[in-house]
Amino acid sequence: MADVMILMGSKSDLAIGEKAVKVLKDFGISHEMHVASAHRTPAYVEDLVKNRGAKVFIGMAGVAAALPGVIAAMTTKPVIGVPVGGKVPFDSLLSIVQMPPGIPVATVGVDRGDNAAFLAAQILGLTDSGLASKVAQQREKAAAKVMADDQSIQTIEA
């Protein structure tokens, strides 16, 4: 069983899935990614979630984006939802974020496959101190870049 399973509603969501895969690979987190549609292949979604399983699920979908909510209905593991944008970005955002009480989907920003993977790393880091250290190092790297960027514009401002 992989630590993270990414499900995309369509192969057309692949660019967003690849953002998540890049971050998961950087952290060395085991993962698998599938195309599985809540509307078109519900039995396949159920088989992946219930029989293959994972510690954390990431669901990505556009338009009437039921997929992350359907995954959440099938498991008590954490589910992270990524609204896929395209021509109608806010339909998917609202479809994913507005879950009824008791069955949450942790929703990240539109097309933010990368943030879904960062959040998955933080969740897995609760029981993996090595991974938690990698997340802390990544934050330090991000902070160092901001400081370097600030330094780099001082000559322009002077």
Residue 36 one-letter amino acid: A
Of the pair 17, 125, the CB lying nearest ligand RP5 is at 17
Residue by residue, DSSP assigns 69-138 as HHHHHH-SS-EEEEE--TTSHHHHHHHHH-PPTTS--EE--TT-HHHHHHHHHHHHHTT-HHHHHHHHHH
Of the pair 7, 121, the CB lying nearest ligand RP5 is at 7
Min CB(71)–ligand RP5 separation in Å = 13
41 binds ligand RP5 (CB under 6 A): no
Min CB(91)–ligand RP5 separation in Å = 10
Min CB(93)–ligand RP5 separation in Å = 12
Min CB(10)–ligand RP5 separation in Å = 3
Sequence-distant contacts of 36-44: CB under 8 A, at least 24 apart: 36/7, 36/8, 36/9, 36/67, 37/9, 37/10, 37/61, 37/67, 38/9, 38/66, 38/67, 38/69, 38/70, 39/9, 39/64, 39/66, 42/70
Among 30, 37, 41, 75, binds ligand RP5 (CB under 6 A): 37
111 binds ligand RP5 (CB under 6 A): no
62 binds ligand RP5 (CB under 6 A): yes
Among 4, 5, 6, 61, binds ligand RP5 (CB under 6 A): 61
Q: What does the binding site for ligand RP5 look like in residue numbers (CB under 6 A)?
A: 9-10, 12-13, 37, 61-63, 84
